[in-house]
Amino acid sequence: MPQLGFGVWQVPDDEAEKAVATALEAGYRSIDTAAIYENERGTGRAVAASGIAREDLFVTTKLWNSEQGYDKTLRAFDASLDKLGLDYADLYLIHWPVPAKDAYVDTYRAFEKILADGRAKAIGVSNFLPEHLERLIGETSVVPAVNQIELHPQLPQQASREAHARYGIATEAWSPLGQGKGLLEVPAIVAIAQKHGRTPAQVVLRWHLQLGNVVIPKSVTPSRIAENIDVFGFELDDEDLAGIAALDEGRRLGPDPAEFSVGA
């Protein structure tokens, strides 16, 4: 899985087609969408039009809360592949655990079938807390390849990253730029950016990469799409990393996965 990919949350279908096309031209090869984003068709159109060989692309999509359960999951996966216009997904994720529904184990058993059938090359989860991972791993056979969680300098998710390391799960950071809200103006980040002759967004993405996270920043602006992938030519030093570590506020921008049940 490429360590840096492109996310399309909140991008309407037509705009997603343009943004994904721009991202693929800029060199991204990994795209993160979801059934609930309602832009799997636009994503698929951009992928098809790119002419890039299928094996060089990495497409992730996610199962929405309303479709949890064994049979519904199989049908929802078919619908996602159909919209994407693909024969297989590279990664399929359970979008949220929805513990109140208590269906994520059954749902994941359907994921295991999809994996066994070769229709997803890898399966994983999103927004799972360590307790949800522990139960899932105890009751099913395939350890999730990935847990995609909210993660940025103001929410570095130490406990989850430690749990992932114990299980051999890759940590994928959603809202890696803190949704561009405030984080990119934090003086410590701005100062590190000035020191390296880089932008604040590049510093934050570099921090993720050095931590070992997979990142999927979103932008619909071509210059930012290019800026966000140009993060391999510099290195943050220990002082920079310590400065960023001090920004931990333990505060989520998004919902608490223990409670979130929209659509379920």
Residue ranges binding ligand NAD (CB under 6 A): 7-9, 32, 95, 126-127, 148, 174-180, 184, 201, 216-219, 224, 227-228, 254
Of 37, 92, 104, 108, the active-site residue reads 37
**How many angstroms separate the CA atoms of 186 and 163, rounded?**
29
DSSP annotation string for 92-133: EEES---TTT--HHHHHHHHHHHHHTTSBS-EEEES--HHHH
Least separation in angstroms between CB 159 and ligand NAD: 18
**How many angstroms separate the CA atoms of 166 and 130, rounded?**
11
Least separation in angstroms between CB 87 and ligand NAD: 22
CA angle 160, 216, 44 (to 5 degrees): 125
Residue placing its CB nearer to ligand NAD in the complex, 86 or 149: 149
Of the candidates 57, 44, 50, 59, which has an alpha carbon nearest to the alpha carbon of residue 22?
Answer: 50
Neighbours of 226 (CB within 10 A): 16
Q: Is the dihedral of CA 181, 185, 189, 190 positive or negative?
A: positive
Find out whether 100 and 262 touch, Cβ atoms under 8 Å.
no
**5's tokens:** 């990919």
Least separation in angstroms between CB 5 and ligand NAD: 8
Least separation in angstroms between CB 188 and ligand NAD: 16
Least separation in angstroms between CB 93 and ligand NAD: 7
Residue placing its CB nearer to ligand NAD in the complex, 131 or 239: 131
Residue placing its CB nearer to ligand NAD in the complex, 126 or 157: 126
Of the candidates 198, 159, 201, 161, which has an alpha carbon nearest to the alpha carbon of residue 179?
Answer: 201
User: How far out from the chain centre does Cα 129 lie?
Assistant: 15
Find out whether 189 and 204 touch, Cβ atoms under 8 Å.
yes
Tell me the sheet residues that pair with 147: 125, 171
Residue placing its CB nearer to ligand NAD in the complex, 81 or 216: 216
Residue placing its CB nearer to ligand NAD in the complex, 61 or 110: 61
Residue 37 bears catalytic tag: yes
Find out whether 108 and 95 touch, Cβ atoms under 8 Å.
no
**61's tokens:** 């999509």
Could you give the residue numbers annotated as active site?
Answer: 37
